[in-house]
Amino acid sequence: MSQLELRPGLADVPVAESAVSFIDGKRARLEYRGIAVETLARESCFEETAWLLLKGDLPTQRELAEFDDQLRHRRRIKYKLKDLIKCLPETGHPMDALQASVAAMGMFYPARDVTNAESNWDSCVRLIAKMPTVVAAFHRLRAGDEAIKPRDDLDHAANFYYMLFEREPSPAVRKVLDACLILHAEHTMNASTFSGRVTGSTLANPYTVISSAIGTLTGPLHGGANEEVLEMLDEIGSIDKVRSWCEDAIANKKKIMGFGHRVYKVKDPRATVLQDLAERVFTDRGKPPQYDMAVEMEKVMIEKLGPKGIYPNVDFYSGIVYQALGIPSDLFTPIFAIARVAGWLAHWLEQMQNNRIYRPEQIYVGKRNAEYVPLAKRA
């Protein structure tokens, strides 16, 4: 018998000390560098929040202006990268296109010396600035349209919207998109962040670190859930079918997308802010039928699974908000990545400050001293 205790999913096993963000799962509290995420969603902008995550403190006016300027001037992607994106299958998922493009970006900007603070900062700025351009370019090119060049006179959120739709967002839509980016920018030691830290711990270059994290985010148990929430609401069809659908799913032990969280045992604070944002978008653009279904579903689910600590998570309302903004559902997870890159990079910088390669233990349950039977003698 092994002395080691296995914790499936590493539940409650610390893997690093971190000062980037904090969650109190019982009190619905999420803080980035000590500041409540609701405050940041209301008062800050994505650029300022990204600086806060990367540097540890809010920027001064001058620091923010310089950072914003650096981001605006690094948005363009190399024409060879655009050619590479053009060659990807248009039926492929944009997350796979983003992962491939970010990995390829590392070949254009070699950043092998991860002990060089200046080069690390350059990589951080490039990755945050260029990922929206890659996602928008793939989206346009797969439809046979021209990719739209980024505009330096627009902020991060507005420019992304512009590159997707070739028109500027209204101030209300810009604010909602910006707040969504802030809400998704960081979330302690989740699967993709851990994956990025593990890759970083081998001293791999930052583009490889972020492409590892993007790959981990693609799965439906992590970033892919918001896309599946809308598919689920479409499958249910109408509000009167919500209760029986939920009862049936629970009886069949089906995982219901957009609910449950390893850490939150109450409603995810980001879901609360997103629901509020959703209602704001609807005053601008009209309320979709999915929203009333979602509200009914939340009611039924809390009644049935609330006592087990299963409540709506960030993905439950985010898809509904993005759909109301006219964003196609397979871009929901890439938008999550465009935001989360700030948190991934903050963790990578932290890992680099005090690095030791990750090399966990296993509990071996296989055969020992097995006999090698020559091929001719095997039955």
Site string for ligand COA, 102-131 (x = CB under 6 A): ------------------------------
Catalytic: 139?
no
Which residue among 139, 261, 268, 347 is the active-site one?
Answer: 261
The reply on whether position 183 binds ligand COA by CB under 6 A is no
Indicate the residue type of 100.
A
Instruction: Provide CB contacts within 8 A for 354, sequence distance 6+.
Output: none
CA distance 295 to 284: 19
In the complex, what is the shortest distance from the CB of residue 60 to ligand COA, in angstroms, rounded to a whole number? 34
- The encoded tokens of residue 106 equal 């590392």
CA distance 100 to 90: 14
Strand order in the sheet with 21-24: 21-24, 29-32, 35-36
Which residue among 156, 178, 315, 347 is the active-site one?
Answer: 315
**In this chain, which of 59, 260, 334, 343 binds ligand COA, going by CB under 6 A?**
260
- The encoded tokens of residue 3 equal 């002395």
In the complex, what is the shortest distance from the CB of residue 250 to ligand COA, in angstroms, rounded to a whole number? 6
The reply on whether position 225 binds ligand COA by CB under 6 A is yes
The reply on whether position 46 binds ligand COA by CB under 6 A is no
Q: Put residue 77 in one of left, alpha, beta given phi > 0 → left and psi -120 to 50 → alpha.
A: beta
- The encoded tokens of residue 191 equal 């699967």
The reply on whether position 167 binds ligand COA by CB under 6 A is no
Instruction: Residue 329: count other Cβ atoms within 10 Å of its Cβ.
Output: 16
The residue whose Cβ lies closest to ligand COA is 260
Instruction: Residue 342: count other Cβ atoms within 10 Å of its Cβ.
Output: 27
In the complex, what is the shortest distance from the CB of residue 187 to ligand COA, in angstroms, rounded to a whole number? 8
- The encoded tokens of residue 137 equal 């370019």
The reply on whether position 86 binds ligand COA by CB under 6 A is no
Site string for ligand COA, 298-327 (x = CB under 6 A): ----------x-x--xxx------------
Concatenate the DSSP letters of all residues of 23-57 into one string: EETTTTEEEETTEEHHHHHHH--HHHHHHHHHHSS
In the complex, what is the shortest distance from the CB of residue 134 to ligand COA, in angstroms, rounded to a whole number? 24
Q: Give, as one character, the DSSP assignment of residue 375.
A: G
Nearer to ligand COA among residue 100 and residue 297 (C-beta): 297
* Contact indicator for 152, 72 with CB cutoff of 8 Å: yes
Nearer to ligand COA among residue 293 and residue 314 (C-beta): 314
In the complex, what is the shortest distance from the CB of residue 182 to ligand COA, in angstroms, rounded to a whole number? 16
Stretch that binds ligand COA, among 47-55, 158-166, 239-247, 252-260 (CB under 6 A): 252-260
In the complex, what is the shortest distance from the CB of residue 181 to ligand COA, in angstroms, rounded to a whole number? 16
Helix (H) or strand (E) holding 338: helix 332-353
Stretch that binds ligand COA, among 40-48, 115-123, 249-257, 289-297 (CB under 6 A): 249-257
Catalytic: 83?
no
For the four alpha carbons of 268, 272, 274 and 275, in that order, the dihedral sign comes to: positive
Helix (H) or strand (E) holding 22: strand 21-24
**In this chain, which of 77, 256, 331, 341 binds ligand COA, going by CB under 6 A?**
256
Query: Which residues sit at the interface with ligand COA, rule CB under 6 A?
Result: 9, 221, 225, 255-262, 308, 310, 313-315
Q: Which residues are catalytic?
A: 261, 315
